[in-house]
Amino acid sequence: MNTREKWAEMQEDGQYQYVEKALSNAEARKNIPVFSGVLKYFLNALKEVAKCSKAGNDQHHPDKPLHWDMNKSTDEYDALTRHLIDHTVNPVDDDNILHLTKVAWRALAGLERYLTNKL
């Protein structure tokens, strides 16, 4: 069985264009190096983002299991920018979480919304 994936390819004019390629399921899985291409690079950063997720869940839903309530806050880019600005004043937020950690969380949230069309 084949799956179709979008790949960004640079054109002769230097612009990127998305093209679809057919891959077998095994090829598709192997072309996504989640551990060696992400987790292995950013072990400490991702652990901090995970702590941030838990802290946010504990703040907004202390009585529920860890989950992302996508309806709670949808202003990823504004919040990301506010935390980036706040980082330049004081790297640590009032809850003792680094502003850059919250920037990373919001960037991932924005990317997830974009990729899943849950804007």
Same domain? 104 vs 50:
yes
Give residue for tokens 């072309």: 31
Q: Which residue has the higher pLDDT, 21 or 64?
A: 64
Q: 82, exposed or middle or buried, with CB in 10 Å at 0-12, 13-18, 19+?
A: middle
Spatial distance between the Cα atoms of 57 and 62, rounded to a whole number of angstroms: 6
At residue 5, the pLDDT reads 58
Q: What is the pLDDT of residues 28-66, one digit of tens each?
A: 777 788 999 999 999 999 999 999 999 999 998 999 999
Same domain? 95 vs 47:
yes
Same domain? 46 vs 58:
yes
The DSSP call for residue 36 is I
Domain span at residue 70 reads 33-116
Specify the number of domains making up the chain: 2
Same domain? 25 vs 75:
no
Percent of the chain predicted with pLDDT > 90 = 60
Same domain? 24 vs 39:
no
At residue 107, the pLDDT reads 97
